[in-house]
Structure 1
């Protein structure tokens, strides 16, 4: 039983907006569009909204991290004069807790959709145009096509207002299970498709885990070779795990499994963790994970991999280094010869690819060309600054377009598109300052440009980097932890900013709870505040967040609690 209505009769099958995908981007667009008076259809294969984030990503992962951090806190309690010992871990209860968090989060979204009158369809959707595009429109870039046809949505719910629908959306119902088919009195009715029409369509189809290619082909997932979904489905912690990858998902699982007592080894193809991160952030994170017991092997790739019921995982590594790691990087294990590793399981976390393989998406010719030197088989959808494709009225948001695949980015894009369709002069999401968070121990928050990235952009000059060690922060010191904040500032060639006032163009943090004040950093970078103006912020004392205030004071030449 859904907590919100599902349309069936013909009078309920014409919409202002049809949204495919009920993840963060899709449901945020649906909620905002409905709030603005538009008739909204939301379609997803899962009868419970939330997408990968709620069901197989953000929510269950962070719930698991909360559990393992509790384990770690108990084990370190002696520091505070508290004697505590863990006698038993009830894995069943732990997974019930995680499932409860997922269920309650999805139910909360369901309730909001019902309250705002969004019509929810369960099934697999495909989109077709009701009218052929003109030759000029068909060959136009997204930017050209969007300027030609501005949004003209109406909140009028009459059939006349919706008679100029541009798109037909066909919804195929989920395939029944064997038990459902056996008990159904009319099985054929279960397979009937539904068609709706819409003046605008938003594609929020998400992404999928990239497989590992070894010896020219992709490896199939099994009980020993897992992606993040499989890792979350484990009924107990493994004794040992090899993690292939160095990004957000790889780092988070390395941290949480290590806290749970798992013997963790990370295989890193490049020179270190979080490839595009500020070098000091990567250095501190790597050093801390190694100190906690995570083994990190840089400049290596998997050239052979075997799995089996009693074997677990056995893999052979080969050297991939083309240059020497920087002197500031922690020394991770590396050798020129091949190496064989064994573990109970292996997690492949080498990124996610847009979920754009459906034939109807290919037929619309809205995706980018794939690079020839990649194993990726699906390409992101091309959009303009308002997330509109080359086809007027067809939008795409979230993981299926280029850029960082983040739930909060999708939220902002969904709201922006809904307002744009409704005729509101909304601003697109500030892509350059969206925080990228890693929920490891320590946490990482990356906002804006690094010094190296800024040096490659000609509008910036006189670029400076200010480093603040979080060991100087009282709350961090109380935890016995460490961290670092990097503030990147620069002067800029434009007509807005004074040459006398350098602006903050990047803030990169690693340390305890930095995710909780990343939004302050996002505001500073997103609004291009001057270093002096940003340093005027007053942070409560003692807090973790005041470390950012101290870093900004230092960047302004007015350091307080440091030399």
Structure 2
């Protein structure tokens, strides 16, 4: 079959951050491109019910807490805020509408055809999209992920008692008592939103610390910070059951290592124990493509699957389930299909928790770095950073981990009000193979939060100025 016999050069399944970026870049590179997306709006989980709406509520709730608490009063601004949750939810929806509409505009601008239905494989170059059959020389699987269910616990977002992350965004009233099952990124972010707005929040986490996968010092400090903010943390605890009666839920929990059980009553339970790849219903068996033990599709470094002409990116393949990781893979896969060289450095993928303060990291944790060899570590507290201190944002620190012999930076971890923005400098430095000395001798504007990264890099050699 010649290239012109196919309906499209590239057909992307899924219009999340990975999928829509792959489709746009493929079209920019001159390829006839379509994207199959069954959701009514483009942007996938991230723009519709994930990254974007959660940040809208996080930002708004930060303002509310700053006004309701002591932060603004300390700066001479005395107000008594009134919560208008309907308006707060409305601005969240407006943000989503604007951004999803923006993706639709970009599809039209770049002449990407949107096939508005569910897609499944007939063969390696043929998809059934709704009632239509379409062919493509290259098919990119970018179907993202969905909430991992907790066995024995039924989520019903409509009732608003036991919810997942989508339901937690849509609550029409502030629950008096909320229990978050899972101490990872999503649970802490959404738990923070409702705590700021007045809910009593308890986090139940099976492991002995919050934020699995992050640096050990970050995880220890996270526990202290969230406790100080008023969250109750039940670590090393497992949920054995959830029952709902009317508008109340009762959880049964017990120590993870065994012991007596107890019950917790809540108005709202957020189930947030992770996400799983969306591969069901794709018809992978029709093309002989299996998933691994985690339900992921294996690819090579160029994002090719074992089936010729079929590629995969984002949450459906191994690696962190992060929108920006998927976006970079979307660019790379389109460039590879077009005969260019698309590369993603999976060793330098930053991760961020958008609470207040923010938690961010890139590269190796200190624990992982030490497994590979000798390291040097520099730390600098935000309390000693002039901008953070002036802004009444004393919590947190910056930590730089470098190779003891070469001084090459292996990982950077930080807690700061703007850590999610600050981490970009660390990622770029690592991408170019920077040493801690390179960061230390780069002039940073004063006064800025980012000076803490400079000082932490100086501390690797034991020579910070302000501590």
Q: Distance in 1 between matches of 2:5 and 2:179?
A: 51
Cα deviation, residue 13, structure 1: 7.0
Query: Aligned equivalents of 2:236 and 2:200: distance in 1?
Result: 20
In structure 2, which of residues 425, 432, 438 is the aligned counterpart of residue 533 of structure 1?
Answer: 438
Which residue number corresponds to residue 235 of structure 1? 172
Distance 1:434 1:473 in 2: 26
Mapping of residues 513-552 of structure 1, within 5 Å: 513-552=418-457
Give the corresponding residue for 1:441.
356
Please, which of 274, 281, 298 is the counterpart of residue 218 of structure 2? Answer: 281
Counterpart of 1:123 in structure 2 is: 117
* C-alpha distance after superposition, 1:444-476 (max 9, x if no partner): 11101012112223xxx2212222111111121
> Which residue in the other structure is 2:388 paired with?
476
Secondary structure class of the residue paired with 1:277: coil
Q: Name stretches of at least 5 consecutive residues in structure 1 with no aligned partner.
A: 1-10, 131-166, 173-192, 323-335, 371-377, 492-498
Measure, in 2, the Cα distance between the counterparts of 1:554 and 1:220. Answer: 48
Output the TM-score relative to the length of structure 1.
0.79
1:285–1:442 contact (8 Å) kept in structure 2: no
- Cα pair 2:359 2:419 within 8 Å, conserved: yes
Mapping 1:313-462, distance limit 5 Å: 313-321=249-257, 336-358=259-281, 360-370=283-293, 379-426=295-342, 428-457=343-372, 461-462=373-374
What is the distance in 2 between the residues matched to 1:446 and 1:319?
Answer: 30
Distance 1:308 1:38 in 2: 55
User: Where do 1:201-350 residues align within 5 Å?
Assistant: 201-214=139-152, 219-222=154-157, 223=159, 224-310=161-247, 312-321=248-257, 336-350=259-273
Q: RMSD between aligned alpha carbons?
A: 1.7
- Contact 1:13/1:195 (8 A) holds in 2: no
Given that residues 248 and 438 in structure 1 are in contact (C-alpha distance below 8 angstroms), is that contact kept between their aligned partners in structure 2?
A: yes
Asked if 1:502 corresponds to 2:440, the answer is no
Kept in 2: contact 1:244–1:347 (CA 8 A): yes
Deviation at 1:47, TM superposition (A): 3.3
Q: Which stretch shifts more, 339-348 or 521-530?
A: 521-530
Q: Distance in 2 between matches of 1:47 and 1:12?
A: 30
Deviation at 1:362, TM superposition (A): 3.7
1:479 and 1:56 map into 2 onto residues whose CA distance is 31
Q: Which structure is larger by alpha-carbon Rg, 1 or 2? A: 1
Distance 1:412 1:32 in 2: 11
2:400 to 476, 481, 487: 487
1:170 to 113, 128, 140: 128
Structure 1, 73-82 or 237-246: larger mean CA deviation? 73-82
**Residue 395 of structure 1: SS of its match in structure 2?**
strand
Q: Which residue of 2 aligns with 1:154?
A: none
Q: Secondary structure at the match of 2:15?
A: coil
Q: Give the match's secondary structure for 1:32.
A: helix
Residues 505 and 528 in structure 1, CA contact (< 8 A), matched pair in contact too? no
For residues 176-226 of structure 1, the C-alpha deviation after alignment (integer angstroms, 9 at most, x for no partner) is: xxxxxxxxxxxxxxxxx1111111010000111011124xxx534352111
Q: Deviations over 1:51-107 (max 9, x none)?
A: 000100011000011110110121231111211101x32222111111110000011
Determine if contact 1:267/1:296 at 8 Å carries over to the other structure. Answer: yes
Give the whole-Å Cα distance in 2 for the aligned partners of 1:558 and 1:477: 21
Deviation (angstroms), 1:367: 3.6
Structure-1 residue corresponding to 2:100: 106
Q: Distance in 2 between matches of 1:392 and 1:364?
A: 10
8 Å Cα contact 1:535-1:556 kept in structure 2: no
Contact 1:488/1:504, CA 8 A, preserved across alignment: yes
| CA 1:122–1:477: 2 relative to 1, 3 Å | same
The 3-state SS of whatever aligns with 1:285 is helix
**Please, which of 551, 555, 560 is the counterpart of residue 460 of structure 2?**
555
Cα distance between partner residues in 1 of 2:287 and 2:381: 51
Write the distance in 1 (CA, Å) between the matches of 2:371 and 2:445. 36
CA apart distance, 1:308: 2.3
Compute the displacement of 1:44 (Å).
0.3
Where 1:234 maps in the other structure, the secondary structure is coil
Q: Which SS does the other structure have where 2:413 is aligned? A: strand
* Matching residue of 2:137: 199
Deviation at 1:127, TM superposition (A): 1.8
Unaligned runs of 5+ in 2: none
Residues 389-411 of structure 1: CA distance to partner in whole angstroms, max 9, x if unpaired?
00122111111111111111111
8 Å Cα contact 2:400/2:436 also seen in 1: no
Partners of 1:451 and 1:464 within 8 A in 2: no
**Cα distance in structure 2, aligned partners of 1:502 and 1:555:** 9
Residue aligned with 2:224, SS: helix
Which one of the candidate residues 14, 18, 25 is aligned to 1:25?
18
Distance 2:389 2:285 in 1: 54
Q: Aligned equivalents of 1:367 and 1:485: distance in 2?
A: 42
